[in-house]
Amino acid sequence: MDLMYSSTRNDKIKMTASAAILKGLADDGGLFVPETIPSLDISMEELAEMDYQETAYAVMSRFFTDFTEEELKNCIRRAYDSKFDTEEIVPMTSADNAHYLELFHGPTIAFKDMALSILPHLLITSAKKNNVKNDIVILTATSGDTGKAALAGFAGVEGTKIIVFYPKNGVSPIQEKQMVTQKGDNTFVVGINGNFDQAQTGVKKMFNDSALSAELDAAGFQFSSANSINIGRLIPQVAYYVYAYAKLFKKGVVAKDEKINVVVPTGNFGNILAAFYAKNMGLPIAKLICASNENKVLVDFFHTGAYDKNRDFILTSSPSMDILISSNLERLIYRIAGNDAEKNKKLMEALASEGRYEITEEMRAQLSGFYGNYASEEETAAAIKKIYEDCGYIIDTHTAVAASVFHKYQTETKDQTKTIIASTASPFKFTRSVMTAINPEYDSMDDFELADELSKIGHVKIPRAIEEIRNAPVLHDVVCEVEEMPEVVKEFLKVK
């Protein structure tokens, strides 16, 4: 029997994994979730001997049951290859009393590569399986990393086009340069005069615009999503938590069935939700530690049970987490509501109309496995400096948020459980913030001089992703207002 997927806002909708991947977002605005989370019925001894590709197949084959073994293995083989700068795909570094899971060794040096390297292949395979004749138009909003990772994944992929919207003044200079220099006739990058939440809301509106969908269909196109709202983005992320635990077990760092804690810096909640899914598959995880920057809407939610986006939007040095609407949290809300789509729908309607909702005490009781805290800008910089000075290890701003929260958790709880920290981006992606945290005098250098200096003091090679954009020409220079987004899409697709 195939594992079926339903919408978080209408559990009467049932579809296969490939159909859910293809659709991205349900017609009712809900997110697709598996009807049950499958168990990881493989021994830890077996998992310990697997390489990354084999682990990815072990995890994904249990979720994507309508893919044949050959189809799924082909997607995995094409995703996790020489694009990554290490055969391990996700190596781990032990530093500062934790194990840093380095998720940034892919083509765009951020954790988004882990899922966005495979999503194009899952989508194209899904299109064939569902007899789709239209070209797939990937429409996505980015707070910095998803955009470039999606562009790199889809560039040149036949039968697809990709349009990325980003907040014009809300990403790092390196992130912007990575996007606007992207090659490929099927790629289009647009800056918006607004923040990430406005970009994401604009994209969701286009997904739910039936008149626009009909117009595109007539022209031979249909939308799909590369944001973490796509279940084909979320499930591949589950694999690296399983892989990390298995490697710690193999090295003798953890005993069989010994529980670990996992710290994840997150804004949109997808990366920590993947760890939650891994835990529910049977991975021995004790606490899931949710680390936020000063946009601490998630932390406040875990502390109070109220999700309230009615607050100032703060631009920080960890821009991929500058988010006030954490889309993937809806999947967790649906689950703690007892998979009650109606109850979840009402909460999401309250978020849309009033900007807030509050969960019941019964629902809150199910969140005991989570801990939430945040790091200020000063604490983030201090974490970078301290870990460099103590260990010689250089981390980026998002990972530093996680490191800071990890120490707050340990101080507060005295819990000494072995811990994995999801290191979500290379420090080379945020050179100015990272280097000035180590020494303010570095601020006089330009971004590429900073990259050279970071390489020198950290004894790490400059990633290919940075070298490629050093002198690359700008190929995308369109900027628009939020309300102009649909017209910009139609213009690119030549839909009149």
- C-alpha closest to that of 323 among 120, 203, 167: 167
In contact, 140 and 150? CB cutoff 8 Å: yes
Integer Cα distance of 171 and 272 in angstroms: 22
What are the tokens at 445?
């250098």
**112 has catalytic annotation:** yes
Q: Which of 12, 23, 73, 112 is catalytic?
A: 112
313 to each of 17, 54, 295, 310, 322, how far by Cα in Å?
Answer: 35, 41, 7, 9, 7
Integer Cα distance of 85 and 104 in angstroms: 9
What are the tokens at 128?
């064939």
DSSP string, 395-444: --HHHHHHHHHHHHHHHHH-----EEEEE-B-GGGGHHHHHHHH-GGGGG
Residues 6+ apart with CB under 8 A from 46: none
Amino acid in the structure at residue 93: T
Integer Cα distance of 189 and 479 in angstroms: 9
Q: Element (H or E) spanning 22, and its range?
A: helix 17-23
Strand partners, 479: 191
Length, in residues, of the chain: 496
In contact, 79 and 52? CB cutoff 8 Å: no
**R_g of the chain computed on alpha carbons:** 21
Strands, E assignment, 293-416? 306-308, 356-358, 370-374
Mapped onto helix, strand or coil, the DSSP state of residue 28 is coil
Q: 156's torsion region: left (phi>0), alpha (psi -120 to 50) or beta?
A: left
Integer Cα distance of 265 and 100 in angstroms: 12
Residues belonging to the active site: 112
